[in-house]
Amino acid sequence: MDTRRLILFVIFSFSIMLLWDAWQKEHAPETPVAQTAPATTGAPADKPQESDGFSLKKGERISVKTDRYAAVIDTIGGDLRQLSLLEHKADDSSGPYELMSDASADKLYVAQTGLKGDGLPNHYQTFTATQTSYALQDGQDTLEVRLSAPEEKGFSVDKVYVFHRGQYVIDVRYEIKNNSDKSISPSVYYQIIHDKESNQGSKMMPTFTGGAYYNETDHFTKIKFDEMAKKDVSITSKDGWIGLVQHYFVSAWIPAGNAERKFYTTKLTEQDFSVGTMVPVGEIAPGTTKTVDAKLFSGPQIPAELEAAAPGLDLVVDYGILTVIAKPLMWLLTHIHDLVKNWGIAIIVLTILIKAAFFKLSASGYRNMAHLREMAPRMQALKDKFGDDKQKLQQAMMEMYRTEKINPMGGCLPILVQIPVFISLYWVLLGSVELRHAPFFGWIQDLSATDPYFILPILMGATMIIQTTLNPPPTDPIQAKVMKIMPVLFSVFFFFFPAGLVLYWLVNNILSIWQQWAINRMIHAETVAKKGNGK
């Protein structure tokens, strides 16, 4: 196998691995979910039912503003109907990023809760509040929004939201007072409603949007909307959370304590689904009040904040099958950013460090290619000598490799070893919310988006052309044509990649050119010296 075929093989292998890893992330079978047996005493009750079909009625609106959120709570069910993240821009940078909304049936994203029990308020109950607008004031660390349901059958219920300064965790609390003459054992449910079409990424860069849950038994498991459409999920668990995952962001209901709970999904319409959890409240005796707590994490997928919110929530930051490599890379990239305060510069520094780590390994590969480059005239002479006799030509070339102590595979192996690192960094740069709308300089104002003027992909293509000139010249005319076209094809391919990823490849190519050029000069000097000595 000559050098050109090795290079083509490496490029093809790397492309296949990228495509396979992407396919695995989007299409690999999910972990099978066990269906629960009939509920036993103390087990969570069944999920909430939509007796008259799914509908999302609207009542009065209550606005809430904190340092991180602009939210809207509806008095119908006390639902969280709109949620904007003030520290994150919309995709078009026109304002804050709207994570939740009920403004459009095509893009539905709502957080609901309710109680299941005779006389207790569900998500269709109308609540009242003392204010229609709440705001977190300077010097205030928490903001409480209290909603009250009308007393029915001797039960009075308050639903309380508690927002925290500097946090993406919202406490949701039910205060249930039993004024009747009988004990009750209700259940509480928490669910997220989402349509199946929005936030799915682009055709070139598809992303996962769907349900997900975590417990110690099954660990982190995704649930696709297509799976929900085929069959409702029903899982009994002793711990964990359930939520809705999309690119960069996540919302998850985290019940308090270790009470047995049920995770469920429901197909509400052909377009809309709910993912949620049902938890038993326990007995509430006459004349007593019981408080039921849960947390709603709703915000960006920042690992440190996810880890602080709940065990396993950080797993929503999905770096694919090479997470074991990707996580340390992201950790290092984050710490570099803390020093340089610019994600683009942090990517450049990380690229240099990775290149330095593989410097000796790369050098051995480039040294092999440099030797092959110096041997190009002799290889052409062998081809002219043996003509179409492929067998004799191959034997003569192998003899020349053996005499000169050159491994024809030596230029391929070092690059193959680095491919897992390249793929890991690809997913880090593609999936890290920290790079979303992060500016570099000049025309690059969002490292997670494509270069608006395609300057970086064009420069990367130019560096690939330079690299081909440093490699051994191909003796086969077809290979020569392919190698001339390859940089152009890869440049077009990278037109659709995030600017941060293209920046990494560009810097890596520049460093590789420098290293390969230096080694070529060294090997050429050695060859000239040998000829001068008559060797």
Tell me the whole-structure pTM to 2 decimals: 0.83
Per-residue burial over 108-127, b = 16 or more CB atoms within 10 Å of its CB, e = otherwise: bbbbbbbbbbebbbbbebbb
Determine the Cα–Cα distance for residues 197 and 206; give it in Å rounded to an integer. 12
Per the listing, tokens 């689904």 go with 273
Q: Domains in the chain, start-ordered, CATH in brackets?
A: 3-20+327-532 (no CATH), 58-318 (2.70.98.90)
- Helices 359-374 and 499-532 cross at an angle (nearest 10°) of 50
* Strand ranges (E), 271-351: 272-280, 289-300
For residue 386 the two structure tokens come to: 């043996």
**Residue 181 CB neighbours (<10 A):** 8
Token readout for 8 is 């083509």
Distance CA 319, CA 370 (A): 36
Pair of tokens at residue 291: 């408080």
DSSP state of 129: -
Residue indicated by tokens 């696709």: 224
**What per-residue confidence (pLDDT) applies to 276?**
98
Q: What is the largest CA-CA distance in the chain?
A: 110
- Residue that has been written with the tokens 């440099």 in this structure: 370
Show the CA angle centred on residue 223, arms to residues 220 and 229, nearest 5°.
Answer: 165
Distances in Å between the alpha carbon of 99 and those of 80, 197, 225, 428?
A: 11, 15, 18, 22
Helix (H) / strand (E) element for 250: namely strand 249-255
CA separation for the pair 350, 426 (Å, rounded): 13
Give the model's pLDDT for residue 37: 36
Q: Which two tokens stand for residue 122?
A: 């569900």
Residue 179 CB neighbour total at 10 angstroms:
13
One-letter amino acid for residue 350 of the chain: L
The edge-to-edge listing of strands for the beta sheet with 210-215 is 142-152, 155-164, 169-178, 289-300, 249-255, 241-246, 210-215, 219-223
Segment 212-255, tens digit of pLDDT: 999 999 999 999 999 999 999 999 999 999 999 999 999 999 99
Q: How many other CB atoms are found less than 10 A from the CB of residue 485?
A: 10
Burial of 173 (0-12, 13-18, 19+ CB in 10 A): middle
Q: In sequence order, which residues have a C-beta less than 8 Å from that of residue 360 and are 6 or more positions away? A: none
List CB contacts of 473: < 8 A, sequence separation 6 or more.
Answer: 373, 376, 480
**Nearby residues of 304 by Cβ (< 8 Å), 6 or more positions away:** none
Residues, the chain, total?
A: 535
Return the residue matching tokens 């491994």.
407
457: nearest Cα among 506, 406, 384:
506
DSSP string, 49-70: --TT--------EEEEE-SSEE
Residues in a beta bridge with 193: 110, 274
SS3 per residue for 88-114: EECCCCCCEEEEEEEEECCEEEEEEEE
| Residue stretches of the chain with pLDDT short of 70 | 1-45, 51, 202-205, 366-374, 404-415, 472-480, 483, 523-524, 526-535
CA distance 535 to 533: 6
Q: Which uninterrupted H or E stretch holds 147? A: strand 142-152
